[in-house]
Amino acid sequence: MFTNLWTITKKELSGYFRSRLGYFILPIYIFLVMLGTFLGTDFFARTNETLMQFFMLQNSVLQLVIPAITMKLWTDERRQNTLELLLSQPVSLTAMVLGKFFAAWGICALLLLSVSGLWLLSNFIIPLDNRGILVSFGACLLMSGALCAVCATVSALTSHAVASFMVSLLVCFILSNFNLSAWLQKANISNEVLIRSSQVLDFKQHFINIVSGQLSIANLFYYLSFMVLALWFNVAAVEYKRN
Amino acid sequence: MIAIKDLNKSFGCKKVIHNLNICINNNEVVALLGPNGAGKTTLMRLMTGFYQPDSGEIIINHHRLTEERIAALKNTAYVPEVGALYPEMSVFEYIKYMADLRQMANQAFIDNLLTLVQELGIEEVINQRCETLSKGFKRRVAIAGALIHRPKTVILDEPTEGLDPNQKQSVREFIRNYGKKNTVVISTHIMEEVEAMAGRVILINHGRLICDTTPALLLQNTAAADIDEAFRALTADK
């Protein structure tokens, strides 16, 4: 299974640069991050030792970029009529889904790596909490993994890359911005269990917790279980669509 | 060897395969015939594990497809009717990807590649991107990708579609030779292809088996002048 998984990951990763999608995504991501980082904020202020704003910005930028990374994962297989070919290979569906997911996640890691130079540069200018920043990069990676898993499932359920992009964008926006507990409080719903559950399930809150230095096993477990669940849905979506 | 037992498949309330029983032995080239919508492509997709049957079973090289999917497909290759190439890949990259999915050793890959590119006449396009190939080359590259691991069972949907007469001739000869040591199932609409390649004809219509015989016996039993006429006699809706 792992050999096939790696074969598919390799093929998908190189596919981003063969189809030139990678060459578009990378500069757009860097541009958005740089714009958000330096526009209207004092990035090199001595108080910015955890680069908090830089990481909070990642939440917004990644939810724009990840739908573009994942939109072609499954829709292209359908458009090129290669889905039939792929699904008739002696490869498990889990390996196919994981292979594609890891490729998309790998691109996210590459994007984060591309802006990590800013962290290294900042070290020469302001005193930084390097351990905290490393954990924050981990948080970005975890969050992008969860978003990749959801968007890959959307790609498996839609027929066109554009439709996949739009639906993924909406899903990412809801996941990252919809605060259910605040909404419940506004609606005067005071059920303790409901409010507590909504806080526990808040996608963005787990990210904020890690970035603000309150990393816990619960945060890790949340994102990892989110990924597993979304990938399980991805397998089910491909299975459902082919029959 | 492919054994199909009591196979049924429906899409919604439309039943496309009705209780099909077929046994295809080793080292034979079988032509799967039928009019449009007869269920040929569905049957091929069932035989390659793309679709799950509603009931019944398919055994490929002694492995049950539903329970031992990977083992059953290990020595099987499928070339779908349309496309099935990654446009942004070069021909070499595409064939290598197919070989990697089959976990082929490097030396075996190189040996088979050298033989196949020569047999199928695709040497000149080996470094070309798949999207830039002509229809005929695309078809031959798809066949090369499917056969790179020298599978025992090959399922080809319309293998000579889009080829010019010379290419058709060479691909037919290639399939005929391949079928001497392996099992080949071809789906086709071209009746001359049946006579040129197949030692056995399986005719289906509305998802049901109409006849399973040799081309010579088919002509004899239907008192037809050629396979085309026999096909029309057996599949015409009364």
Tell me the C-alpha to C-alpha distance, in Å, between residue A120 and each of A127, A133, B181. 11, 11, 63
Q: B45: which chain A residues are within 8 Å (Cβ-Cβ)?
A: 84, 88
Among chain A, residues having any CB pair with chain B shorter than 8 Å are 3-4, 7-8, 11, 15, 18-19, 80-82, 84-85, 87-92, 242-243
Query: Given phi > 0 = left and psi -120 to 50 = alpha, else beta, which region is A170?
Result: alpha
d(CA A103, CA A96): 11
Residue A17, pLDDT above cutoff 80:
yes
Burial class (CB in 10 A: 0-12, 13-18, 19+), A4: buried
Q: How many angstroms separate the CA of residue A10 from the nearest CA in chain B? A: 10
What average pLDDT score do residues B142-160 get? Answer: 91
b/e map B161-191, b = 16+ CB within 10 Å: bebeeebbeebbebbeebbeebbbbbbbebb
Residue B153 DSSP label = E
Bridge partners, residue B187, by sequence: B32, B157
| A118-122, B170-174, B233-237: least confidently modelled range | B233-237
Query: pTM score, two decimals?
Result: 0.90
Bridge partners, residue B77, by sequence: B154
pLDDT over 90 percentage in chain B: 48
Secondary element (H or E) of residue A226: helix A217-242
> pLDDT (tens digit, 9 = 90+) per residue, B90-114?
999 999 999 999 999 999 999 999 9
Contact A90 B45 (CB under 8 A): no
Residue B236 DSSP label = -
Contact A85 B100 (CB under 8 A): no
**Structural domains in chain A (count):** 1
Which residue has 């293998």 as its token pair?
Answer: B159
Cβ atoms of residues A112 and A242 within 8 Å = no
On whether any CB of chain A is under 8 Å from the CB of B82, the answer is yes
Residue A212, pLDDT above cutoff 90:
no
Give the pLDDT confidence score for residue A40 in this predicted structure. Answer: 67
- For helices A2-18 and A21-38, the axis angle rounded to 10 degrees is 80
Give the pLDDT confidence score for residue B193 in this predicted structure. Answer: 81
What average pLDDT score do residues A191-217 get? Answer: 83
What average pLDDT score do residues B118-143 get? Answer: 91
The parent domain of residue A59 ranges over 2-242
Where does the pLDDT of residue A48 fall: very low under 50, low under 70, confident under 90, or very high at 90 and above? low
d(CA B149, CA A182): 59
Encoding tokens for residue B157?
A: 């949907």
Structural domains of chain B sorted by starting position, each given as residue range(s) with its CATH number in brackets: 1-75+154-238 (3.40.50.300), 83-151 (no CATH)
d(CA A28, CA A34): 10
Where does the pLDDT of residue A120 fall: very low under 50, low under 70, confident under 90, or very high at 90 and above? confident
Cβ atoms of residues B48 and B74 within 8 Å = no
Residue B213, pLDDT above cutoff 90:
no
Residue A137, pLDDT above cutoff 60:
yes
Q: In chain B, which residue's Cα lies nearest the Cα of A3?
A: B103
What average pLDDT score do residues A92-108 get? Answer: 95
Residue with more model confidence, B65 or A181: B65
